[in-house]
């Protein structure tokens, strides 16, 4: 019995069998070959016919040019000779000899005298006379009426010695000249000759009318060949593929006759040139198709003879089963197919041995993995921190026992992280699902490890809340995220101790302020010598004590500010801020320090500042810390810039303080703004710092809804910036 999978496999084998492949590939190859040959033959024959047609057209235009130019030139010479004769005797016989239809004489007063020929209406207009006077020598011009080109005139000056006494005008019948010029004299049925000239700044094109036999003007020269006619009348010559006056694609040759101001054009329909090539291509395609069918059928029969043993071999290989590995030789053709059958038999024996060996290895490795899995599970279950693993969709796939205890959930597997880890912020508000730490990590592939404790709480099913910390790391393979690992920890006791510490510091700081203020008062009395004159050494000692007292006062004030803000006892009092006065007030308190280090303070403020409402005390505290920090760590004789700028696109004000000084080491930038932290180079540059100024600035900025940021290059410059929204708290 053949299983369903085996039958489907055999159908797939038939679809991609060598016999079918051989037939289709030979069919495609032969088709491409015949198509290529037909295409090459088409283009070669087309180019050859095109070259021959071009040569014929060029020869035709050259011949017509020579015919027209020689005929008109001879008549002009004869009329010019007649104009130089002393008397016009025997004019009638001369007229008959030269072929004039009429001979006229025009004097300087435009009086016309008929010397020979009929005295009927004369085809002489003022435009002709005006053009005639502009030519000193002979002049040629066609006369075209509604009936077509019927006449043309040639003029020559009438001379008496060297004095011009008038002009001779010879009127010729254009029928004979036009018939000779416009007759194609070609085996081509569509070849046509055109004559073009320009009269009164308008292009005139003449052709032979097959119906009437007259030489008629082309009414619409812009239909297709307008640019070619214009180019020919400009004195150029060439070959062009275009459309003629009737819109038919043509191949045309044109050249100018400069002596007459005319151009001659020979054209032939493009279809007539292409038709032999098209017939050749169709014949090649037909014969090629017959060749393709014959050869493809032959290849099919040949493939059937070759593929038969291969199909039998395929069936035997397809019938192999994993447990039996049975293969019997049946092909003895004495060629490569027999070698393949023998190799398949040998390969089957090797596969049987390899399969048995692999089964033993798999069983052994499975036992090792089961043991390792049990050990890993025991380690994860014994962790003091909770462990939560999710997939890319945020579905929980693993939780250890500590995580189950923290969340009070035993049914977390298969649920989303937002459903199990219900997180509230420090104000007690449930986080937006999009801002959930695990959701952010899965969407950005960046770890969630906040430098400052965000004061998050975990809300359990029974409604109770637990202070906890969470760290989330993406599971990455290359740049692709496959899930996340979250470590959660109960920090209720740590937060209680930190709260007690802050309250203790606040209490101690308050108790220290009173004695420090008293000490400051008595030290100032001693320094002002209200209690008696001090010696130089005594004055120096008291000055050192006063300096230490000042440092203690600053430290106590800083600790008080920190504890008040951390404990939430600092009341934000929004007020309209005048930044000009605020910066003047703050910076004026640092005049002595600026003079001691020979520093220059520069303000950069826009003329128009949008007023905002915020807490003036906290803004002043932040700005004081920025300026104090810049003064401490600036190089002597440098410049400190205090800038205020407006960003209307983001509805914010940017307050920044820039100094040129020691800067911040790259390895320590992540710790700037932490409590009691100072850079390694800051400790050696200024030993009086306490590491609280920037920490106070950061938490004060968060209190009023502003953003604290900085940029620094070690040994070069540092910029601290406060971004304040217009709608500040």
Angstrom CA distances, 519 to 103, 513, 514, 533, stand at 139, 10, 9, 19
More confident residue, 46 or 716: 716
Query: Residues spanned by CATH 3.30.450.20 within the chain?
Result: 383-490
pLDDT at 571: 57
Segment 237-250 shows an average pLDDT of: 81
Segment 581-585 shows an average pLDDT of: 80
Please state, in angstroms and rounded to a whole number, the distance separating the CA atoms of residues 308 and 333: 12
Could you tell me the pLDDT band of residue 565, with boundaries at 50, 70 and 90?
low
Please state, in angstroms and rounded to a whole number, the distance separating the CA atoms of residues 640 and 630: 7
Q: What is the pLDDT of residues 603-630, one digit of tens each?
A: 888 777 667 788 777 788 788 888 888 8
Question: What DSSP character marks residue 148?
Answer: E
Both tokens of 647, joined, read: 């960003």
- Buried b / exposed e along 657-693 (16+ C-beta atoms within 10 A): bbbbbbbbeeebeeebbeeeebbebbeeeeeebebbb
Please state, in angstroms and rounded to a whole number, the distance separating the CA atoms of residues 624 and 602: 15
- Contact of 380 with 400, CB cutoff 8 Å: yes
Could you tell me the pLDDT band of residue 93, with boundaries at 50, 70 and 90?
low
- Buried b / exposed e along 546-578 (16+ C-beta atoms within 10 A): beebeebbbbbbbbbbbbebbeeebeeeeeebe
Phi/psi-derived region of residue 689, left when phi > 0, alpha when psi is between -120 and 50, beta in every other case: beta
- CA of residue 120 relative to chain centroid, distance: 79
Question: What DSSP character marks residue 666?
Answer: G
Label residue 332 exposed, middle or buried (CB < 10 Å: 0-12, 13-18, 19+).
Answer: exposed
Query: Residues spanned by CATH 3.30.565.10 within the chain?
Result: 572-729
- Which residues are 215's β-sheet partners? 208
Q: What is the pLDDT of residues 149-204, one digit of tens each?
A: 778 888 888 887 778 888 888 888 877 777 777 777 766 777 888 888 877 667 77
pLDDT at 15: 47
Domain 572-729 grouped into CATH 3.40.50.720: no
Segment 101-112 shows an average pLDDT of: 80
Please state whether beta strands 574-576 and 613-615 pair in parallel, antiparallel, or not at all (unpaired). Answer: antiparallel
Instruction: Give SS3 for 334.
Output: coil
Fold (topology level) of 383-490: Beta-Lactamase (3.30.450)
Which residues fall within 8 angstroms of residue 452, CB to CB, at 6 or more apart?
674
Please state, in angstroms and rounded to a whole number, the distance separating the CA atoms of residues 306 and 144: 82
Check pLDDT > 90 for residue 658: yes
Please provide the DSSP assignment of 407-447 as one string: HT-S--TTSBHHHHSEEE-TTSPBPPGGG-HHHHHHHH---
pLDDT at 277: 78
- Contact of 148 with 161, CB cutoff 8 Å: no
Please state, in angstroms and rounded to a whole number, the distance separating the CA atoms of residues 147 and 44: 45
Which residue shows structure tokens 């990590």? 441
pLDDT at 233: 77
Residue among 169, 171, 154, 152 at smallest CA distance from 107: 169
Label residue 474 exposed, middle or buried (CB < 10 Å: 0-12, 13-18, 19+).
Answer: buried
Q: What is the pLDDT of residues 468-502, one digit of tens each?
A: 888 899 988 888 888 998 888 887 777 777 777 66
Check pLDDT > 50 for residue 2: no
Question: What DSSP character marks residue 310?
Answer: H
Could you tell me the maximum CA-CA distance found in the chain, to the nearest angstrom? 155
Please state, in angstroms and rounded to a whole number, the distance separating the CA atoms of residues 45 and 386: 84
Both tokens of 155, joined, read: 């003029």
Please state, in angstroms and rounded to a whole number, the distance separating the CA atoms of residues 461 and 470: 19
Label residue 154 exposed, middle or buried (CB < 10 Å: 0-12, 13-18, 19+).
Answer: buried
- CA of residue 596 relative to chain centroid, distance: 56
Q: In what order do the strands lie in the sheet with 480-490?
A: 396-399, 386-391, 480-490, 465-477, 457-459, 422-424
- CA of residue 515 relative to chain centroid, distance: 70
Check pLDDT > 90 for residue 384: no
Please state, in angstroms and rounded to a whole number, the distance separating the CA atoms of residues 192 and 269: 9
- Contact of 627 with 588, CB cutoff 8 Å: no
More confident residue, 583 or 306: 583
Please state whether beta strands 600-604 and 639-647 pair in parallel, antiparallel, or not at all (unpaired). Answer: parallel
pTM (global) more than 0.75: no
- Contact of 562 with 621, CB cutoff 8 Å: no
Helix, strand, coil percentages for the chain (3-state, nearest 5): 50, 25, 30
Instruction: Give SS3 for 384.
Output: coil
pLDDT at 390: 92
Instruction: Give SS3 for 592.
Output: helix
Segment 59-65 shows an average pLDDT of: 84
């Amino acid at each position: 019995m053949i299983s369903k999978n085996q039958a489907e496999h055999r159908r797939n084998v038939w679809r991609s069998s060598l016999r079918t492949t051989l037939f289709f590939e030979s069919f495609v190859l032969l088709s491409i070959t015949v198509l290529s040959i037909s295409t090459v033959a088409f283009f070669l024959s087309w180019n050859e016919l095109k070259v021959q047609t071009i040569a014929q057209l060029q020869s035709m235009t050259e011949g017509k040019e020579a015919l027209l130019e020689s005929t008109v030139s001879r008549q002009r010479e004869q009329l010019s000779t007649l104009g130089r004769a002393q008397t016009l005797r025997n004019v009638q016989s001369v007229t008959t000899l030269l072929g004039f239809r009429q001979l006229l004489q025009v004097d300087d007063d435009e009086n016309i005298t008929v010397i020979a020929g009929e005295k009927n209406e004369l085809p002489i207009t003022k435009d002709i006379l005006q053009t005639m006077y502009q030519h000193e020598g002979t002049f040629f011009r066609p006369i075209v009426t509604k009936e077509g080109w019927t006449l043309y005139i040639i003029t020559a000056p009438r001379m008496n010695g060297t004095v011009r006494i008038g002009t001779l005008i010879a009127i010729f019948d254009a029928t004979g000249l036009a018939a000779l010029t416009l007759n194609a004299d070609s085996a081509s049925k569509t070849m046509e000759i055109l004559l073009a000239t320009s009269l009164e700044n308008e292009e005139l094109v003449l052709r032979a009318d097959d119906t009437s036999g007259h030489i008629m003007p082309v009414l619409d020269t812009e239909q297709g060949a307008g640019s070619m006619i214009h180019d020919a009348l400009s004195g150029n010559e060439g070959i062009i593929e275009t459309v003629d006056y009737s819109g038919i694609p043509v191949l045309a040759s044109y050249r100018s006759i400069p002596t007459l101001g005319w151009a001659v054009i020979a054209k032939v329909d493009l279809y007539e040139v292409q038709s032999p090539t098209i017939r050749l291509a169709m014949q090649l395609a037909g014969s090629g198709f017959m060749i393709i069918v014959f050869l493809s059928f032959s290849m099919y029969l040949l493939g059937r003879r070759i593929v038969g043993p291969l199909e039998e071999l395929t069936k035997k290989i397809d019938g192999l089963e994993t447990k039996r590995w049975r293969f019997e030789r049946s092909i003895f053709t004495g060629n490569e197919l027999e070698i393949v059958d023998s190799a398949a038999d040998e390969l089957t024996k090797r596969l049987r041995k390899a399969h048995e060996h692999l089964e033993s290895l798999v069983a052994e490795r499975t036992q090792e993995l089961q043991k390792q899995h049990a050990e890993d599970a025991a380690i994860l279950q014994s962790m003091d921190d909770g462990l939560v693993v999710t997939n890319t969709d945020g579905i929980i796939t693993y939780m250890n026992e500590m995580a189950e205890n923290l969340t009070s959930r035993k049914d977390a597997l298969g649920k989303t992280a937002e459903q199990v880890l219900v997180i509230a912020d420090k104000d007690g508000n449930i986080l937006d699902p999009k801002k959930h730490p695990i959701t952010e990590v899965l969407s950005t592939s960046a770890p969630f490890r906040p430098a400052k404790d965000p004061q998050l709480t975990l809300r359990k099913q029974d409604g109770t809340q637990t202070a906890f910390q969470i760290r989330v790391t993406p599971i990455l393979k290359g740049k692709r995220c496959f899930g996340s690992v979250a470590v959660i920890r109960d920090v209720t006791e740590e937060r209680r101790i930190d709260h007690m510490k802050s309250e203790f510091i606040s209490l101690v700081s308050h108790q220290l302020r009173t004695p420090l203020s008293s000490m400051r008062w008595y030290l100032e009395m001693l320094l002002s010598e209200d209690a008696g004159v001090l010696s130089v050494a005594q004055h120096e000692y008291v000055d050192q004590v006063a300096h230490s007292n000042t440092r203690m006062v600053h430290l106590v004030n800083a600790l008080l500010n920190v504890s008040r803000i951390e404990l939430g006892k600092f009341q934000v009092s929004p007020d309209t801020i005048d930044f000009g006065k605020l910066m003047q007030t703050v910076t004026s308190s640092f005049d002595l320090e600026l003079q001691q280090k020979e520093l220059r303070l520069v303000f950069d403020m826009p003329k128009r500042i949008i007023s905002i409402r915020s807490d003036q005390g906290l803004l002043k505290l932040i700005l004081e810390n920025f300026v104090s920090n810049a003064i401490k760590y600036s190089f002597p004789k440098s410049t400190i810039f205090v800038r205020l700028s407006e960003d209307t696109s983001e509805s914010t004000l940017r307050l920044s303080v820039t100094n040129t000084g020691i800067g911040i080491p790259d390895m320590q930038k992540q710790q700037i703004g932490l409590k009691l932290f100072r850079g390694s180079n800051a400790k050696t540059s200024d030993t009086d710092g306490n590491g609280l100024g920037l920490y106070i600035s950061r938490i004060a900025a968060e209190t009023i809804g502003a953003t604290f940021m900085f940029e620094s290059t070690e040994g070069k410059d540092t910029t601290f910036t406060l971004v304040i929204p217009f709608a500040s708290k």
